[in-house]
Amino acid sequence: MAGRRFEVADVAAVLQHWQAGRSRRQLARSFGMGRNRVDRIVAVAEAAGLTPGGPPLSRPEWERRVPELFAERVVPAMAAPTQELVRFHATIVERLAASTVTTVWQRLCDEQGLTVSLSTFRRYVPPASYPITSTGPPPSVDPARRS
């Protein structure tokens, strides 16, 4: 089933209301989805043997089942490189106070085995935490002098 990815909570809510007996049209309207999308979600649930009015599943049970039903469509919680960077977060914050982003990345790679690319590292580190380095007073401009 090709198409856009979705959040587990959205699909779990649709399926929970579908199983409670709401029509597909009502689901589409209340969740702000197209009827075709609701039809595709419900079709997967029906193919798995679930029926409206059947034994009700709780919200946590639906949230556990949805990734099984829609494995290729579920948005991953966090990409592996980001998970790796989260482990180094405290060290990154500490070292950015004294070094540039590139230096911190290189030292983490060399000393602690960080394996993410520099571009991934830069996306992880917000621009506000880059140190502002000044090499002296701002240059003065002489309006009378033109080159």
Domain residue spans of the chain: 8-69, 80-129
For residue 41, what are the contacts with CB-CB under 8 A and spacing of at least 6? Answer: 11, 14, 15, 18
For residue 13, give both structure tokens. Answer: 């809510």
Position 126 scores a pLDDT of: 77
Q: What is the DSSP letter of 20?
A: T
Per-residue pLDDT of the chain (147 residues; tens, 9 = 90+): 445 556 767 888 888 899 888 899 999 998 888 899 899 889 988 888 888 887 888 888 888 888 788 766 655 566 677 778 888 888 998 898 888 899 999 999 999 999 989 988 888 887 765 555 555 555 555 656 655
Cα–Cα distance measured from residue 109 to residue 57, given in angstroms and rounded to the nearest whole number: 46
Q: How far is CA 100 from the centre of its chain?
A: 26
What are the start-end ranges of the E strands in the chain? Answer: none
User: Taking a C-beta distance cutoff of 8 angstroms, is the pair 26, 35 a contact?
Assistant: no
pTM of the model: 0.47
Cα–Cα distance measured from residue 33 to residue 44, given in angstroms and rounded to the nearest whole number: 16
User: Taking a C-beta distance cutoff of 8 angstroms, is the pair 58, 28 a contact?
Assistant: no
